[in-house]
Structure 1
Amino acid sequence: MSVDQYRNQVASIQKNIAKLQGDKSKKVEAAAKAGKRSSDAVASAARASSVSTAISKQKEAVRYADEQAKAQIEVGKIEKKIADEQNKIVTAQRRLDDEVAKERKRLDAAQTKRMKEEKKLLADQQRTAREQDRRMQNLGAGLSRHESLHAQTAIEIGRLKALPETITVVFFAADPGSNSVTKLALDEEARLIGERIRASEHRDSVVFHTRWAVRPRDVLQAINELQPSIVHFSGHGTDADMLVLQDDQGMEKHVTKEAIVSAMALGAESVKLVFFNTCFSFNQAQGCLKHVPATIGMNRDVGDLPARVFSAQFYSAIGFGLSIPKAFQQAKALVSMEVPGEEDIPELYLQDDLDENLLILVRPPSI
């Protein structure tokens, strides 16, 4: 349960205890009144001048004594219920405290990662600024500088020519055990990605494949078969770093971070990007970074709509020839406009000292 649900549970138990304590007070008061009336009746019987009056008062005393006993029994029952509720609130409060601690830990981890990324981004910006200053200082070098720029242009064109004429994206989807209420709109995500790729400038350079109800063996089969540049996972992830695929009976198959990293290592020769569009996938993305230049993961649970908006815009930008970092930022910008507050969930991880130009995947047809 969530923190709010645990808090509501504690509040509900506290309300029950307060009501029971009120009921107990009423019964204690009733017992006291009955006891006094019984005592008064006994005293009256002792003072009675006639036998009939004494017998009547004695019966009255017995009746009130019975009422007192019944009220005291009810008090005992209520005290037992109060004790049970107090045991419940101790358990509920402990679970609430545990969940609050877990949430704080998750938030601290996310903040630490954001600070690390911000620091890296600042370092990249400073390095870019220094490079720009150096280029400006060398503009007056005359013919030799012109020749150098010409050579650099030739190298850049050569690098672009070295890119494959087409890249392949394989879209792995798994949503085991879902029903009409819990079903993820993975088909809508795939449809929207394909639509945005077809609307991009270099649409013929991006080949989009889908694999549904994915089992672990399907991942390696598709990598061997398609030699993809981008591997994309959509579906479910857990806060225990598990990727949720499907087994042969259509049930959930939890794949560990280590296992998925190992699988990506086997496809590293062709794979340039692994995209986890699943909840709590940032550790999986970081693990795969040892084997591929770039990865994308989610730092917490992510909703169906922001996940779909982000991935569709990312592939649209790739289809227009943008680099992976620029496509990532553009996709985040669209999420910020479409689903405000969700844009900080995706995280991009790059291998150290990678030139952004090396992260352009699509070769312009004119080159």
Structure 2
Amino acid sequence: MPTSSTIANTVLRKKKELSKLQSDKASEIKKVADLEKKITFARKSILRTKNSSTIQSKTREIERYNTQLSKVSQKISGIEKKIAQKSTEISAEESKLHREESREIKKRMEFEKKQLSEIENMQVSISKHEQLHHQTQTEIAELKNIPEKITVLFIASNPLDSHPLRLDEEAREIETKIRQSEYRNSIEFVTKWAARPLDILQGINEINPTIIHFSGHGSDEDQLVLQDNAGNAKFVSKEAIVQSMVTTSDDIKLVFFNTCFSYNQAYSVTEYLDAAIGMNTSIGDEAARVFSAQFYSALGFGYSVEKAFKQAKAALMLEGIEEENTPELYGKEGIDLKKLILVKP
């Protein structure tokens, strides 16, 4: 029978395989965006010319791109099936790990009980008996205090007609920092790419996250910039975002707007949610990546939301990125952000 450490290694290996599949999916999604951009360009070229030869050439290009797009979509579908299967395998292994840990604890307790009986037969002092009993009870209490698992939903959007951002680098850095944290097994990081407005509701309904992280563009009119069906920018109002938060999951504790000019959005959602982070002006790619990665790293070490926020600002200063005053942290009235711990050790 495999030991708990063996099963734990299996879980870790499968999670690495899952991370690889998610990375592969992200790469294929990027191909989709590139092909759609080429199709759009070819269609515009047709509209600009009356030359039949050029029209025929561009039409053939569109057909070829559509064929490639179909193949990539099929590949993404296959990867998604593998991701679902791998997630099921991980869940099964984690259940197996829990059962094996319980069995080992029971076996150890039975052994300690036998030892205690032998000590009592040898007329060991009552004080020694009480000390061992107290130690056993303490160990049981610690084992019961397993950190609850939280899910971070990373919603990313970089429309074709907007300035390109390195959102994949931000997601990769966050995942790395979470894996390096002490309570990494208590945090699940799920990404949603090329997000459209309705993907917000769909993602929340599917995943029921504890944290929602928006990464991409924002406007100076309190709007979040997502994508329409053609991959171009589509603006979502602050009111729509707030409504989406309050009409879906009761488990959302924090919304992280890693987008420009998002402080009003963050402030507004805290009327209903415990905490939110927004930007009081535009924020650079590198600053967004460093700040968010360190924030989740600190959460993964069991620190409060406020302490994680302060550490993230310190990370910007340590890297020499002079944007530490851009992020703003807001809390719901009556919530002490110093005591708001999302990953409990």
Per-residue deviation, 1:356: 3.9
Residues 1:265 and 2:246 are matched in the alignment: yes
Q: In the alignment, which residue of structure 2 is the partner of 1:197?
A: 178
Q: In the alignment, which residue of structure 2 is the partner of 1:171?
A: 154
Q: Which protein is bigger by CA-based radius of gyration?
A: 1
Q: In the alignment, which residue of structure 2 is the partner of 1:254?
A: 235
3-state DSSP of counterpart to 2:330: strand
CA distance in 2 between partners of 1:229 and 1:164 (Å): 14
Choose from 319, 322, 340 the match for 1:338: 319
Deviations 1:239-268 (A, max 9, x none): 011100011111111000100110011235
Residues 1:308 and 2:308 are matched in the alignment: no
3-state DSSP of counterpart to 1:359: coil
3-state DSSP of counterpart to 1:248: coil
Q: In the alignment, which residue of structure 2 is the partner of 1:360?
A: 341
CA distance in 2 between partners of 1:334 and 1:313 (Å): 7
Residues 1:350 and 2:331 are matched in the alignment: yes
Contact 1:268–1:292 (Cα < 8 Å) also in 2: no
Show structure 2 runs of 5+ residues with no match.
1-137
3-state DSSP of counterpart to 1:228: coil
Q: TM-score, normalised by structure 2?
A: 0.57
Q: How many residues align?
A: 205
Superposed, 1:210-289 pairs within 5 Å as 210-289=191-270
CA distance in 2 between partners of 1:184 and 1:274 (Å): 20
CA distance in 2 between partners of 1:183 and 1:304 (Å): 10
Identity rate, percent: 55
Q: TM-score, normalised by structure 1?
A: 0.53
Per-residue deviation, 1:339: 3.5
CA distance in 2 between partners of 1:321 and 1:333 (Å): 18
Counterpart of 1:286, as a letter, is Y
CA distance in 2 between partners of 1:349 and 1:278 (Å): 15
CA distance in 2 between partners of 1:340 and 1:214 (Å): 28
Contact 2:272–2:332 (Cα < 8 Å) also in 1: no
Q: In the alignment, which residue of structure 1 is the partner of 2:308?
A: 327
Distance 1:317 1:178, change over 3 A: farther
Counterpart of 2:296, as a letter, is Y
Runs of 4+ in structure 1 off by over 2 angstroms are 355-358
Per-residue deviation, 1:358: 4.5
Distance 1:251 1:319, change over 3 A: same
The root-mean-square deviation of aligned C-alpha atoms, in Å, is 2.0
Per-residue deviation, 1:175: 0.4
